[in-house]
Structures are given as structure tokens and as C-alpha cells.
Amino acid sequence: MGDLLTREQSDASVARFQAEFDRRGYGWWAVEVEATGEFVGFAGLDEVDEYMPFTGVEIGWRLARSAWGQGYATEAALTVLAHGFDTLELPEILAVTTATNLRSQAVMRRIGMTRDPAEDFDDPTEPEGPLRPNVLYRVARSTRI
């Protein structure tokens, strides 16, 4: 997922995330361990990139490996979905991951998303290899859990 950021690059990313959140009413939130306040990643909503073969608003998360398997991604994703549907009144939210990312696909299913294999696609920004085949999940506000 890219090189480690310098402090300046990290600060610039946070500033960009905040500006986008202020402008759109959605973006990326920090994910912290409630008991300790430890920062373990982020989760949120973003516009689908223009080069993708579909449009919409996408949910996503990225957590430190030490936070995997503890339910943080599911808890964060459910909070993000609630914001997207209840506050923003989005009609649908999408999620994308590589075909090999079974952990993220499991989270997508746990939060009520479904996949139609006919919508799977190759990420046009990735070279041939394991990161190119991607899957698309969806959940509509009217059918969410």
C-alpha cells in the first residue's frame, strides 16, 4: 500500500482528509482502541475513483496488523454505514477489495453487503498479478442489517 510516509506527508494527508470531510460531510475517521486510545487505523467513506468501472460512494478501512481479528473493522464499518445511511441518506454504499483479501470480504458480508461475481473487475491501476483482480460488494439503505 505504498511507502511509509514522512511526518510532513502524514500531516498533509490528515489535512486533506479533514478538508474533504468538511466539504462533503464524509471521509476518513481514526480507529482507536477504546480502552487505551491507541490509534490502530482508519475507516470511512470516499467517492469511487473516476477510473473505476462504476460510480458511487465506497466504504473502506485500513487497520494495523496488530488490530486484525479483533472485531475493530466490523465495528468501525457498522458505524460508518450508519453515518452514510442515517445522516447522509445515501441510497447505496459500495466496497471494493482484491479477490485474495478474504478478511475484508468477510467483514463486508458481516455488515450486510453482497457480491455479484458478474461485477468483479480488474483494477486498471494495477499491473498483472494478485492485486489486479478485484471484487465489488454493495448494500442498499433499504436492505441493510
Q: pLDDT digit of tens for each residue in the chain (145 aa)?
A: 557 788 898 889 889 889 988 999 899 999 999 999 999 999 999 999 998 999 999 999 999 999 999 999 999 999 999 999 999 999 999 999 999 999 999 999 999 999 999 999 999 888 898 889 999 999 999 987 6
Query: What pLDDT does residue 2 have?
Result: 57
User: How do beta strands 114-115 and 92-98 pair?
Assistant: unpaired
- Vertex 138, ends 48 and 19: CA angle to 5°? 35
Q: Could you tell me the pTM of the whole model?
A: 0.88
Q: Identify the CA nearest to 99 among candidates 53, 54, 135.
A: 135
The span from the CA of 87 to the CA of 78, in Å, is: 13
Query: Domain boundaries in the chain?
Result: 7-143
What CATH number has the domain spanning 7-143? 3.40.630.30
